[in-house]
Amino acid sequence: MVPESDIRIDTEGVWFYRGVEMTRHDITALFFQNLHQSKSGRYFIEMGKQRYPVDVEDTAYVVWNLRWHDNSDEANETASLLLSDNTMETLDPGTLRIERNHIPYCRIKSGRFEARFSRAAYYSLADRLAYDPSTGAYYISLNNHRYSLFREHS
């Protein structure tokens, strides 16, 4: 049995220690740098030879903002993600999907972690969503390619 953790991350990406919000960004940055996920999906912080379990309500990372970069060359469009660890990454549109209560998710950190979109990031994504009635699929177009997000259920 895995012991319950003193450290928790809620669905909005807020860190807590024994129920109290962690407001020291230097500490949460250190935790993010040492955050790992087991094959079973369990999160933990590993520092030296010590492992500390982390209870995560949804995902450890949240996409705070999504910014589209429309270049003059349509084959070179990109989107940047501002993540809850205050880092920026380029969106890999092939990892986008929408699940659980219509919340978007994507893979980050070279595919090692999943990130949940905040409401603000969702709205930015929604600006680019299109619907194909012939397939029942929602998608975004980027670099002359359609990336399907989910299909309507019959």
Tell me, what CATH number does 27's domain have? 3.10.540.10
Q: Kindly report the pTM of this predicted structure.
A: 0.87
Is-contact 120 62, C-beta < 8 A?
Answer: no
pLDDT number for residue 5: 86
Distance CA 96, CA 136 (A): 17
pLDDT exceeds 60 at position 51: yes
Q: How many residues can be counted in the chain?
A: 154
Examine the domain organization and report whether 40 and 90 are in the same domain.
no
Is-contact 52 38, C-beta < 8 A?
Answer: no
Instruction: Specify the number of domains making up the chain.
Output: 2
Is residue 133 a part of any domain in this protein? Answer: no
**Six-digit token pair at 33?**
């740098």
Is residue 51 a part of any domain in this protein? Answer: yes
Pick 144 or 1 by higher pLDDT.
Answer: 144
State which residues form the domain around 49: 7-56
Per-residue pLDDT reduced to its tens digit, 69-96:
876 665 678 899 999 999 999 999 999 9
Is residue 137 a part of any domain in this protein? Answer: no
pLDDT number for residue 138: 86
Examine the domain organization and report whether 34 and 17 are in the same domain.
yes
Is residue 147 a part of any domain in this protein? Answer: no
Question: Which long-range contacts does 89-93 make (Cβ < 8 Å, 24+ apart)?
Answer: 91/66, 93/140, 93/142, 93/145, 93/147
Give percent above pLDDT 90 in the chain: 72
Give percent above pLDDT 70 in the chain: 92
pLDDT number for residue 136: 82
